[in-house]
Structure 1
Amino acid sequence: MIYRRRALQRRLDELRDVLDGEAVDKLAERLNRAGKDRVAAMWELVVLHGLSKCGLLQHEVVLASLRRPDILLEQGTLRLTADVTAVSDEGIDKDNPYHELSQMIEAAKNKLKLPIGGLDLRVRSKHESTKRGTRTVLLVPPRRKLQEFVRQTIVPQLREQMTAGKFPLRIAIDDDDVGLDITIDPTKSPYISGGFAAYDVPKIKDRNPLYSALKAKAEQLRGADGITGVIVGDGDCVALSGRSANWDEVSTRQIVAEFFRQFSSVDFALLLSVRESRHGWAPYPKPVRQNDASLFVREGCNARSELNTLFQAMIEHFPKPAMMPVNGALRAREDDYDVGHHGGYSMSGSSVVRLGLREFTEIFAGLRTLQDNGAKYVEAARKMPREPNHLQAVVLRNLMAGRLPESIEVIKTDEEDNDDWVEIRFGGIDPAIAPLR
């Protein structure tokens, strides 16, 4: 996810001193369950934890409407009721299934005994105009018909060209419903490329995922006392990505303004995301990720200054982002854990080596070897050509010279990392495994 598991665990532990243990247990349960709700639970956790450091926090206090908003916070004279949610472009992605089509074509290639990768998929698009505005739609078959389309349309053409010995394989489809240009070049394996129009950029103020997320929470706040608002976390949504609007796009500010116009009971909207930048003169500088918050307050609300100060203080207690929302949302759908320092190592001369503690333990348990180069999916990686592992060569060279480890030390990291290090120091020649001198 966006934040490291160790950082999330500490916040769960600290919240148990503030909130009911059952409520924290439910958060942990959601965080342990793969799926898109994991991202929403993550944002709820860091927001609740951050606010718990800023005032008197209560969770899911029942309103007169019997609704249970996530947050009731009292800080001096400020009384705030808010709900937390996450927003993604998943619904739009389902209507434009480019990635699913790419995966199905790749699977069909494998069945035809073609090498992994070498696929270039280009998708055309069209613009649909409505009374509310215009939206971009990719010219791909509906999701429910993708499998049939690949089986009945794509595969027969691939087989025909393969039988005729035509390489690269090329398929072009251009009609009112489907517009594709497919090239399969085995010499470019194992890489996949492609292109399509930006279909997820909001172009209608009240017909986009961000507006829908705000609208869904407005009802939850109806009847609440004091200042009310919605806190939205980025679950991979273009509207929260910070990109500038082009002439035919609507900005985040326009979307929130439209929401305030239609729902006068909500006083503020706080949008949370992550920004990434690169600094330095190195060819590939390490990315710097920072938490980002955009606060929008309804005109006429006199708590703007207090809200700004409160949320600035809340953000100070957020973990350091480990991933951008697009990657965090993808990882949240996976059952297993993120890799640690797998494949990473360092050496000091020929006698001191360092590798990740998790990889070291997995090697010790027989789940992998150094030759697997830290691959997440070991069995799949072993079917691919593998580069020699220099760390393995150093360890083997020490062993063959009669040198065994004289010390093994665990180098601990902090909660912003998801792995520790093991440092192995080789000693002098041991006559137990070397000629006597």
Structure 2
Amino acid sequence: MFSRRDIQKSVEQLATVLSKKQLVLLVQKLNSSSFEQVSAEWEVVVLAAISRIALLKHEHDSGGSSRPDVRATVCDLGLEFVADVCAVSDATMEDENPVDFFRDEMFAVARELGIAGAGLFLHVEPLEKTEPKQRRLLALPPKGEIQRFIRVHVRPFLQQLAAEPALDRVLEHSEDTVALKVRYDASERRISGGGWPNYTWPRTSRHNPMYRILQQKSDQLRASGFDGLKGVIVCDAGCETLGSRSESITNGFFAQHRKTVSFVATLKIPDANTSVGGRPRLETKWDLFWNPHHEVTDRPLVEETFARVVALLPPALRASQYARNRSFAPDLRYHQSFEGAYMIDGSGSRERIRVSARAVLQTLAGNLRFRESWGYSIPVQVFQAQINEGRMIKSVQLERSEHDDDDWLVIEFDDPDPAVSPYRVPDECAQV
């Protein structure tokens, strides 16, 4: 969601208020390749922002058996509160309905057989609902049985496609709790896809990831021993409930939990349709929900506090709805790179070209992924055009990008150079 550079700055900010032991635990989570990474990313940037406007104590002992993430004193507002920071996702629902895993495994076998994947469509039927708490909603094999299912049922179908790619084919499988169809359209050369019921939509106001995390945090805050304002800061890590039903679910939570939690603040980074300089314009959005059974005197102060906190968060690079999926691709060489991107200054004059500094470094280091990527992208053609025109590099400068995880290498080309171009008659000659 945020650049690694900005996250590191937040860690350094927290070094002024947290102990080394506390920071070590946070950094270990940040460096993990699990969901902890996403949760820690939110926690670090939120804690750092709070520490800039308030006296922050992290995991402070308030006399109880639990230690909340935040104990903050906002001096100019005369406000003190404790809160837990948490990230919520649809991870459990995705594990119970592993349609993405099924597709990934199916396409991996297809590529192994020489099939690019275009024209393949997966359709999954819904599973009959028998109880409100039911989490398995798609008629798919359990996640642990998918590889065997594909090997036994799908691979022979894909082998037929590989043998006769010009023929349309359909595989239908229906038995017990599995009902799906794989369709191949031989005329489709560009896209793949499919369809299945929405399995992340909250079935009830209580049986969903957001309600569960609020209930868990309420129990922990109750055990903290703190007598003042208590709240939960819920951050989006790919949870449909947070984007569509957060108000109704929070109100339902307050109806059942009247005493402990005074407020729930939600943070999310919606996807953007508009862009600046070819990049999406992303903003962190927040909402504050107040427990109607608590005095409203402090509500304006809490709202002012969170307005300040969100204003101090780093610029977002990616929408939060994709956060969980990215946490399982931890190769830092490819994280938020400008790879493949380029910019040409001056109406196509091609005299100044900006390219990814990381991509250049990886290419020089012999990284095959980057060499292959550049081999089929426009920057190679642009550089080839400079060579064809007999131009040499005039200068190279590094243009830092503060809130990105890459920099631009600005390469300026000179006029045609006789070292690599034909001799030419000068523009100005003596008048004889």
5+ residue gaps, structure 2, are 425-432
Counterpart secondary structure, 1:295: strand
Of residues 330, 351, 370 in structure 2, which corresponds to 1:335? 330
Q: Hey, what's the Cα distance between the residues in 1 that align with 2:148 and 2:393?
A: 58
CA contact (8 A) 2:109 2:155 kept: yes
Of residues 402, 413, 416 in structure 2, which corresponds to 1:426? 413
Task: Tell me how far 1:48 sits from its aligned partner.
Answer: 0.7
Counterpart secondary structure, 2:149: helix
Of residues 259, 265, 268 in structure 1, which corresponds to 2:260? 265
Match of 1:218?
A: 218
Q: Hey, what's the Cα distance between the residues in 2 that align with 1:134 and 1:436?
A: 78
Q: 1:62 and 2:50 equivalent?
A: no
Q: 1:296 and 2:289 equivalent?
A: yes
Counterpart secondary structure, 1:126: coil
Match of 1:138?
A: 138
Match of 1:410?
A: 398
Residues 123 and 369 of structure 1: CA distance in aligned 2, closer, same or farther (over 3 Å)? closer
* Aligned-residue RMSD, C-alpha: 2.8
Q: Hey, what's the Cα distance between the residues in 2 that align with 1:332 and 1:150?
A: 26
CA contact (8 A) 2:114 2:162 kept: no
Counterpart residue identity of residue 195, structure 1: G
Residues 13 and 125 of structure 1: CA distance in aligned 2, closer, same or farther (over 3 Å)? same
Residue range with higher mean Cα deviation, 163-172 or 358-367 = 163-172
Percentage of pairs with the same residue: 27
Match of 1:383?
A: none
CA contact (8 A) 1:158 1:169 kept: no
Residue range with higher mean Cα deviation, 148-157 or 200-209 = 148-157
CA contact (8 A) 2:50 2:56 kept: yes
Task: Tell me how far 1:335 sits from its aligned partner.
Answer: 1.6
Counterpart secondary structure, 1:204: coil
Listed one character per residue, the Cα deviations across residues 412-436 of structure 1 (whole Å, up to 9, x for unaligned) are 2222x22221121223454555567
Task: Tell me how far 1:174 sits from its aligned partner.
Answer: 3.5
Q: 1:194 and 2:194 equivalent?
A: yes
Match of 1:116?
A: 117
Residue range with higher mean Cα deviation, 255-264 or 219-228 = 255-264
Counterpart secondary structure, 2:271: strand
Match of 2:273?
A: 278
Q: Hey, what's the Cα distance between the residues in 2 that align with 1:162 and 1:75?
A: 65
Task: Tell me how far 1:163 sits from its aligned partner.
Answer: 6.9
Match of 1:87?
A: 88
Listed one character per residue, the Cα deviations across residues 82-132 of structure 1 (whole Å, up to 9, x for unaligned) are 1111111010111111111112222333344434343100111134143x5
Q: Hey, what's the Cα distance between the residues in 2 that align with 1:165 and 1:234?
A: 42
CA contact (8 A) 1:62 1:68 kept: yes
Counterpart residue identity of residue 219, structure 2: E
Q: Hey, what's the Cα distance between the residues in 1 that align with 2:165 and 2:282?
A: 49
CA contact (8 A) 2:272 2:280 kept: yes
Q: Hey, what's the Cα distance between the residues in 1 that align with 2:164 and 2:4?
A: 53
Residue range with higher mean Cα deviation, 97-106 or 179-188 = 179-188
Of residues 229, 250, 269 in structure 2, which corresponds to 1:256? 250
Task: Tell me how far 1:170 sits from its aligned partner.
Answer: 0.6
Listed one character per residue, the Cα deviations across residues 190-241 of structure 1 (whole Å, up to 9, x for unaligned) are 6321111111111212211111111121222123221111111111000112
Task: Tell me how far 1:75 sits from its aligned partner.
Answer: 2.1
5+ residue gaps, structure 1, are 244-250, 375-385
Task: Tell me how far 1:39 sits from its aligned partner.
Answer: 1.0
Match of 1:174?
A: 174
Q: What does 1:29-48 correspond to in 2, within 5 Å?
A: 29-48=28-47
Residue range with higher mean Cα deviation, 116-125 or 38-47 = 116-125
Q: Hey, what's the Cα distance between the residues in 1 that align with 2:357 and 2:166?
A: 49
Listed one character per residue, the Cα deviations across residues 222-265 of structure 1 (whole Å, up to 9, x for unaligned) are 23221111111111000112x3xxxxxxx322322232233331
Counterpart residue identity of residue 19, structure 1: L
Match of 2:19?
A: 20
Residues 220 and 199 of structure 1: CA distance in aligned 2, closer, same or farther (over 3 Å)? same
Listed one character per residue, the Cα deviations across residues 47-74 of structure 1 (whole Å, up to 9, x for unaligned) are 1111112221101012333312111111
Q: Hey, what's the Cα distance between the residues in 2 that align with 1:205 and 1:217?
A: 17
Listed one character per residue, the Cα deviations across residues 367-417 of structure 1 (whole Å, up to 9, x for unaligned) are 25986345xxxxxxxxxxx74x443344334445553212111122222x2
Q: Hey, what's the Cα distance between the residues in 2 that align with 1:157 and 1:360?
A: 42
CA contact (8 A) 2:266 2:286 kept: yes
Structure 1 length normalisation: TM-score? 0.85
Residue range with higher mean Cα deviation, 297-306 or 93-102 = 297-306
Counterpart residue identity of residue 392, structure 2: L
Q: Hey, what's the Cα distance between the residues in 1 that align with 2:83 and 2:37?
A: 20
Residue range with higher mean Cα deviation, 399-408 or 83-92 = 399-408
Of residues 303, 307, 315 in structure 2, which corresponds to 1:312? 307
Residues 133 and 328 of structure 1: CA distance in aligned 2, closer, same or farther (over 3 Å)? closer
CA contact (8 A) 2:39 2:86 kept: yes
CA contact (8 A) 1:162 1:169 kept: no
Counterpart residue identity of residue 85, structure 2: V
Residues 176 and 412 of structure 1: CA distance in aligned 2, closer, same or farther (over 3 Å)? same
Task: Tell me how far 1:310 sits from its aligned partner.
Answer: 1.0
CA contact (8 A) 1:134 1:204 kept: no
Q: Hey, what's the Cα distance between the residues in 2 that align with 1:102 and 1:413?
A: 36
Match of 2:342?
A: 345
Counterpart secondary structure, 2:282: strand
Residues 35 and 266 of structure 1: CA distance in aligned 2, closer, same or farther (over 3 Å)? same
Residues 391 and 98 of structure 1: CA distance in aligned 2, closer, same or farther (over 3 Å)? closer
Match of 1:53?
A: 52
Q: Hey, what's the Cα distance between the residues in 2 that align with 1:160 and 1:424?
A: 50
CA contact (8 A) 2:133 2:207 kept: no
Counterpart secondary structure, 1:355: strand
Counterpart secondary structure, 2:249: helix
